[in-house]
Structure 1
Amino acid sequence: MPAPHGYIERLAELAASGVPFASVTLVYAVGSVPADAGSKMLVTAAGLDFGTVGGGRVEAKAIAEAQLLLREPGGSSPRPFLREWNLQRDVGMTCGGVVKLFVELYNHDPWQIALFGAGHVASAMIHCLLPLPCRITCIDSRADWLAKLPDDPRLSKVCTDNSPAEVAALPENAFVLCMTMGHRTDRPILEEIFRQGRQFPYLGVIGSAAKRAVLQRELRAAGISQEQAESFHCPIGLPIGGNLPSEIAISVVAQLLQQRDVLAR
């Protein structure tokens, strides 16, 4: 049975929007069952979004299970899986059939990345990151620099003259990078992170070892503990490439991927 008309288009729309959802496909049907193999539906946290796998109790059970999975936190999306149900025993129907449903989750607990700064390296990083399964927030005071960034539903652009005030809204699992115009604008963001007691899985500041030493000294003078003042990456990125913004961006994204995968083990 071919995919229902509009299914692929709606799946692409949901995938691009960043909304968590599940695709459920009836891949096996034997006996008295409510739909043919190949029937498909898309489910969001709000319920059935598109399509059908036959309606009735089978569909209601599949929707409820998909919604439960979408609500579960986790570091990465569960792998696709099969559910096999005997309609009489497992679903409570009088039918004697058996179905197998293939469930895939999309946009489930995506990798969160927050960039303070929309300059050349941040822009190059965003172009590297957007093909990956992640959600990016870019924060800067310069509307013209933010406007140069690509328009993508997985990229949020925040224009503000008070970047430290945005720290409170960052999710706990965000990878955070300070890439503003210099240490004078990076330091207040770091200070706010530490004063709030935030502990992100990755916290980095673009710059040299000399910049790191200045930041640490100023943070300690502001009352930040030595342990906190030493808890950020600077310089950032793997020791590869040169000083072109695109090469720096690749080295930093590679380090972020490395850290993400270490945490996922």
Structure 2
Amino acid sequence: MRAWRQLTELIERHGVAALITVHDVKGSAPREKDARMVVRPDGAFHGTIGGGQLEFLVLDIAHEMLKAGRGPARIVDQALGPDLGQCCGGRVKILIETFDKQDLDDISPFVAMESKGGLFDLECRMEAGRVGREMASEADVSPGAEWRETHGEDRTPVLLFGAGHVGRALVLALAPLPFSIRWLDDREGAFPAHVPANTSAVQMRSPEAEIAEARPDSMILVMTHDHPLDMAIAAAALQRGFPYVGLIGSATKRARFEKRFRELGLPQERIDALICPIGVAGVADKDPAVIAASVAAQLLQTRERRQLDRKLSPLDAAGGT
């Protein structure tokens, strides 16, 4: 969620808006630290801190704060079980802040950082009842800072080759999810007039160049109108060793492609990494929307595994204690 952009847009439209942040979490909670919501004066909002009684409570508090206009920040400290009857059982601190047009200049650098994509950290301190923020430049919190926040969006890049029925359905399925899609097709007029905000539609000139220039953590989906083109893209992607290379098609198509990959000299371990058929196991419906939902789930599973792997220490990864 680009909270600072949302906050700026609401201030410009309504004069004032609130930012709700999960400031601290102990034990089990509906959302993680730094989850956020942005709230309008009429009570409408963007984002979520997990729903349930906790979210209702802090939305009511934010609404009352907005009625009073720009004022001091407030931290709400809640035990989820005894206080709110939520089964999570943990404890959370929620930071609620109000902003108006006098804050827009201070917010603008954070909006600019969000527009670059990726994550960034801010160092924070309480100053006369309000939160002062500045860009974090060092690994450790600098003297004078009281805490650090992470902002921006951690989106996984996806290269989607093919703008047919399944490609179109998949772009829609991925629209609200944490992916950044580069949608590629070599045909003129292949794309719809409008695409989701997280998607860039590009008329492809060189699939080899697209594969060569892709980030190493990209996920590759191949579903073009042409089998030889599918073959060339999939072979190039497998050779580079991306974390996910998915090819639309049946087990028969996979067998034919595997034979050709071996003739091209691809190592067997790279060939074995190919996902074909695509999608989670147990979903057989071939409707484009169903395939898209199944593939979206598979991409999320791959993303979660990679994030977990990155959190493991070398000792953990080696099976140490």
TM over 0.5: yes
Among candidates 168, 174, 179, match of residue 212 of structure 2: 168
CA distance 1:143–1:253, shift in 2 (3 Å): same
Check conservation: 2:121, 2:148, Cα contact below 8 A: no
Counterpart position of 2:224: 180
Higher RCO (Cα < 8 Å, 6 or more apart): 1
Deviation at 1:178, TM superposition (A): 0.8
Matched, 1:114 2:159: yes
Report the equivalent of 2:297: 254
The equivalent of 2:137 in structure 1 is: 64
1:18 and 2:117 equivalent? Answer: yes
Distance 1:158 1:142 in 2: 10
CA RMSD of aligned residues (A): 2.8
Percent identical: 29
How much does 1:19 deviate? 5.4
Counting only pairs closer than 5 Å after superposition, residues 74-153 of structure 1 correspond to structure 2 as 90=143, 100-108=146-154, 110-152=155-197
Q: For 1:188 and 1:149, how far apart are their aligned partners in 2?
A: 29
Stretches of 4+ aligned residues off by more than 3 angstroms: 7-17, 19-25, 40-43
Q: Is the 8 A contact 1:241 1:251 kept in 2?
A: no
Q: Deviations over 1:100-159 (max 9, x none)?
A: 234123124x3121111122212211222121222111111124223445152x322221
Contact 1:204–1:234 at 8 Å: present in 2 too? yes
- How far is 1:42 from its partner? 6.2
For 1:145, what is the secondary structure of its paired residue? coil
Counterpart residue type for residue 140 of structure 1: D
The answer for unaligned runs of 5 or more in structure 2 is 1-71, 73-97, 309-321
Do the aligned partners of 1:15 and 1:106 also contact (CA within 8 Å) in 2? yes
Does structure 2 retain, via aligned residues, the 8 Å contact 1:24–1:104?
Answer: no
In the alignment, structure 1 segments of 5+ residues that lack a partner are 29-34, 44-62, 70-82, 92-98
Q: How far 1:17 sits from its partner (Å)? A: 5.8
**1:231 corresponding residue in structure 2:** 273
CA contact (8 A) 1:25 1:38 kept: no
Residues 216 and 155 of structure 1: is their aligned pair in 2 closer, same or farther, counting only changes over 3 Å?
same
Q: Structure 1's 41 and 178: CA in aligned 2 closer, same or farther, altered over 3 A?
A: same
How far apart, CA to CA, are the structure 2 residues paired with 1:188 and 1:249?
23
How far residue 161 of structure 1 moved from its aligned partner, in angstroms, is 3.5
Equivalent residues in 2 for 1:195-210, closer than 5 Å: 197-210=239-252
Question: Is the 8 Å Cα contact of residues 173 and 200 (structure 1) preserved in structure 2?
Answer: yes
Please give the alpha-carbon distance, in whole angstroms, between the structure 1 residues aligned to 2:153 and 2:235.
Answer: 32
